[in-house]
């Protein structure tokens, strides 16, 4: 990955109008596995973003926009095939950028990246319309019907935790709907976006329909997208604080916005739950992807009769996690995304200790005595004993960590779970069917699970309430966002 085989460091360029474009300045892409420099990334300046917008507009009014839905969908199927044809390369790239275990990237990230294109290509073909027969005083009547049209040029700004999975979750419905797109991947994970550009080119997606600009947020490619007059909609996944900045920037020309933001998600375990299933699900929801999943459970509430046993068993799970390099088949947990992010997560570990939390397990940085010590690893961690009003319980940490607390009855559990300004996801574990429905319906969150976690039917609405986002993606909901609906009234 690191070099071109001749010893030269790999360089990742922007992809604009079907060409790979260098820029005047590059930034370093360092792997969190062991701190090695793996590539140099060409940062798009304003002129490159302008070129990408021009190319996208030309594609939208030209070759891309003129395709039939079937032709467009056939290209999207070819993109999915193209990802799969280079599956190992995509897996290796995602693992090098993020440090995640190869088992995870090859079972989740890359297959979902390909599947997203197929799913939205299938869905767009079944989109219907709404129509109303209207009565008029002269008795002739009128027919009203609505049609959907793409926005034109859509900006896609994506995060680093599930880079290909989350960017294609937006790109696929945007392109299936007929938009031309400009993707800005996270500066931490630029590689699979660049590979995707190669796939788009190789399968014949018209030049300009898909563009990639690399860079950061403020005063860089991110901001150039959100302030650009030629971009009509912006879809963003990332931190709530970034969402606020994007909202301000996008207000100038009233762009359509879709936001998938942060979470501080509760999991509630009732004493009647299937204990082993609840432990398995909770351990996954706390530690998977090193806790860097927006849907992770950072607040765990357990009914008192099973509390001690649950804490002990979850502690054992945390302590048994095999931390290591992506390619090691035993690895269950990789590093955090970067040393910088590790500082943030560690600061919450320190804060919890300062506030007098009981550290059930973890709380530190592992020492390996090998090259991993130059990486960004952190210990799986469980805290207990903190009040609900502490920063540790209020703010998203985004690491392999939870706080665990007992509760005595259903009302108390619901009140604690809902005591947050976020509203992304919740999990309830119980064998009482009515309670499962009742409690999950009482949750103030967009995505609610009973007796499972991360089980996704991609047709369902996905998104958060409160500080967790605006709008819903997934299935028809995504297709709605990536198009404008207009009504036509015909007098008969
Ligand atoms: P981030 O907000 O730091 O960055 C996300 C993207 O926004 C990056 O591409 C970044 O370069 C860009 N960006 C930053 N500042 C910008 C600005 N001012 N203007 C335009 N673009 C800007 O988020 P992150 O650290 O990459 O990702 C982690 C966050 O994402 C967590 O909060 C997590 O909960 C959230 N997340 C949410 C979901 C969801 O579906 N709700 C999914 C995954 C991650």
Closest CA to 368 of 1, 33, 13: 33
Q: Is the pLDDT of residue 301 over 50?
A: yes
Mind giving me the DSSP string for 23-66?
-S-EEEEE-TTT--EEEEEE---HHHHHHHHHHHHHHHHTTTTT
From residue 4, alpha-carbon distances to 9, 10, 248 in Å are: 7, 6, 41
Q: Is the pLDDT of residue 444 over 90?
A: yes
Sign of the alpha-carbon torsion through 390, 396, 398, 404: positive
Mean predicted lDDT score pLDDT of the chain: 97
Among 159, 336, 421, 447, which is best to mutate for testing ligand 1, by the most ligand atoms less than 8 A from CB? Answer: 159
183 in Cβ contact with 200 (< 8 Å): no
Convert the pLDDT of each residue in 459-468 to its tens digit: 999 999 999 9
Catalytic machinery residues:
260, 294
341 in Cβ contact with 376 (< 8 Å): yes
State in Å: Cα 287 to ligand 1 middle.
20
Kindly state the DSSP code that residue 409 receives in the 8-state scheme: S
Convert the pLDDT of each residue in 259-298 to its tens digit: 999 999 999 999 999 999 999 999 999 999 999 999 999 9
Q: How confident is the model at residue 6 (pLDDT cuts 50, 70, 90)?
A: low
What atom in ligand 1 is closest to the CA of residue 263? 34
Query: Given strand 483-491, what is the order of strands in its sheet?
Result: 131-134, 142-150, 483-491
Q: Is the pLDDT of residue 4 over 90?
A: no
State in Å: Cα 168 to ligand 1 middle.
15
Q: How confident is the model at residue 103 (pLDDT cuts 50, 70, 90)?
A: very high
Percent of the chain whose pLDDT exceeds 90:
98
Query: Given strand 26-30, what is the order of strands in its sheet?
Result: 10-12, 37-42, 26-30
State in Å: Cα 261 to ligand 1 middle.
7
State in Å: Cα 272 to ligand 1 middle.
38
For ligand 1, say whether the CB of 261 is within 6 Å of any of its atoms.
Answer: yes
Convert the pLDDT of each residue in 179-235 to its tens digit: 999 999 999 999 999 999 999 999 999 999 999 999 999 999 999 999 999 999 999
For ligand 1, say whether the CB of 43 is within 6 Å of any of its atoms.
Answer: no
For ligand 1, say whether the CB of 469 is within 6 Å of any of its atoms.
Answer: yes
Q: Is the pLDDT of residue 126 over 80?
A: yes
From atom 39 of ligand 1, which residue's Cα is the shortest distance away?
A: 260
Q: CB-hemisphere CA count at 13 Å for 441? A: 6
Q: How confident is the model at residue 1 (pLDDT cuts 50, 70, 90)?
A: very low
The reported pLDDT for the residue numbered 163 is 98
Convert the pLDDT of each residue in 405-427 to its tens digit: 999 999 999 999 999 999 999 99
Q: Is the pLDDT of residue 28 over 70?
A: yes
Strands 180-184 and 381-384: unpaired
From atom 30 of ligand 1, which residue's Cα is the shortest distance away?
A: 238
For ligand 1, say whether the CB of 245 is within 6 Å of any of its atoms.
Answer: yes
Residue 206: which H helix or E strand, with range? Answer: none
Closest CA to 340 of 30, 26, 27, 12: 30
What atom in ligand 1 is closest to the CA of residue 185? 9
Structure tokens at 358: 């009981």
The reported pLDDT for the residue numbered 68 is 97
The reported pLDDT for the residue numbered 486 is 97
Q: Is the pLDDT of residue 436 over 50?
A: yes
For ligand 1, say whether the CB of 98 is within 6 Å of any of its atoms.
Answer: no
The reported pLDDT for the residue numbered 2 is 52
Residue 161: which H helix or E strand, with range? Answer: none
From atom 20 of ligand 1, which residue's Cα is the shortest distance away?
A: 222
Q: Is 112 helix (H, G, I), strand (E, B) or coil?
A: helix
For ligand 1, say whether the CB of 474 is within 6 Å of any of its atoms.
Answer: no
The reported pLDDT for the residue numbered 3 is 54
From atom 16 of ligand 1, which residue's Cα is the shortest distance away?
A: 217
Convert the pLDDT of each residue in 326-339 to its tens digit: 999 999 999 999 99
Q: What are the two backbone dihedrals, phi and then psi, of residue 179, each rounded to the nearest 5 degrees?
A: -75, 155
For ligand 1, say whether the CB of 41 is within 6 Å of any of its atoms.
Answer: no
Residue 460 CA to residue 444 CA, distance in Å, equals: 17
Helix 191-203 vs helix 87-98: crossing angle, to nearest 10: 160
From atom 15 of ligand 1, which residue's Cα is the shortest distance away?
A: 217
The model carries a pTM of 0.97
The reported pLDDT for the residue numbered 5 is 52
The reported pLDDT for the residue numbered 98 is 98
What atom in ligand 1 is closest to the CA of residue 226? 20
Among 97, 109, 162, 242, which is best to mutate for testing ligand 1, by the most ligand atoms less than 8 A from CB? Answer: 242
């Amino acid at each position: 990955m690191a070099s071109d085989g001749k010893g030269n460091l790999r360089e990742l360029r922007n992809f604009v109008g079907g060409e790979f474009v260098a820029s005047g300045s590059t930034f370093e892409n360092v792997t969190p596995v062991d701190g090695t420099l793996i590539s140099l990334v060409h940062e798009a300046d304003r002129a490159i973003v302008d070129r990408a917008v021009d190319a996208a507009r030309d594609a939208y009014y030209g070759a891309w926009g003129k395709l039939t839905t079937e032709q467009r969908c056939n290209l999207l199927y070819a993109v999915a095939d193209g990802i799969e044809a280079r599956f190992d390369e995509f897996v290796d790239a995602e693992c090098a950028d993020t440090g995640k275990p190869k088992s995870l990237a090859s079972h989740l990230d890359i297959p979902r990246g390909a599947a997203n294109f197929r799913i939205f290509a299938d869905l767009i073909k079944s989109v219907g319309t709404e129509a109303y027969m209207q009565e008029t005083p002269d008795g002739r009547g009128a027919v009203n019907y609505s049609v959907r049209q793409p926005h034109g040029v859509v900006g896609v700004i994506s995060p680093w935790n599930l880079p290909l999975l989350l960017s294609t979750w937006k790109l696929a419905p945007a392109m299936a709907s007929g938009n031309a797109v400009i993707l800005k991947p996270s500066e931490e994970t630029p590689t699979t976006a660049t590979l995707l550009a190669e796939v788009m080119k190789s399968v014949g997606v018209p030049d300009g329909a898909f563009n990639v600009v690399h860079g950061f947020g403020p005063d860089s490619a991110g901001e150039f997208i959100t302030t650009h007059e030629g971009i009509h909609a912006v879809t963003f996944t990332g931190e709530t604080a970034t969402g606020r900045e994007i909202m301000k920037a996008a207000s100038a020309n009233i762009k359509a916005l879709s936001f998938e933001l942060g979470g501080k998600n509760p999991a509630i375990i009732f004493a009647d739950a299937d204990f082993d299933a609840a432990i398995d699900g909770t351990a996954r929801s706390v530690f998977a992807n090193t806790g860097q999943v927006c849907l992770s459970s950072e607040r765990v509430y357990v009914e008192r009769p099973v509390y001690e046993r649950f804490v002990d068993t979850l502690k054992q799970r945390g302590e048994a996690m095999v931390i290591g390099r992506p390619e090691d088949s035993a690895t269950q947990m990789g590093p955090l995304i970067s040393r910088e992010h590790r500082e943030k997560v560690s600061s919450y570990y320190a804060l919890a200790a300062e506030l007098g939390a009981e550290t059930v397990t973890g709380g530190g940085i592992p020492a390996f005595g090998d090259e991993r010590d130059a990486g960004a690893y952190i210990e799986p961690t469980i805290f207990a004993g903190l009040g609900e009003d502490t920063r540790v319980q209020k703010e998203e940490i985004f690491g392999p960590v939870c706080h665990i607390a007992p509760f005595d009855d259903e009302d108390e559990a619901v009140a604690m779970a809902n005591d947050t300004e976020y509203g992304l996801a919740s999990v309830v574990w119980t064998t009482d069917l009515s309670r499962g429905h009742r409690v999950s319906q009482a949750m103030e969150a967009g995505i609610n699970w009973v007796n499972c976690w991360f089980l996704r039917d991609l047709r369902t609405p996905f998104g958060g309430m409160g500080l967790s986002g605006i709008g819903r993606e997934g299935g028809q909901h995504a297709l709605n966002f990536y198009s404008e609906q207009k009504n036509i009234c015909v007098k008969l």
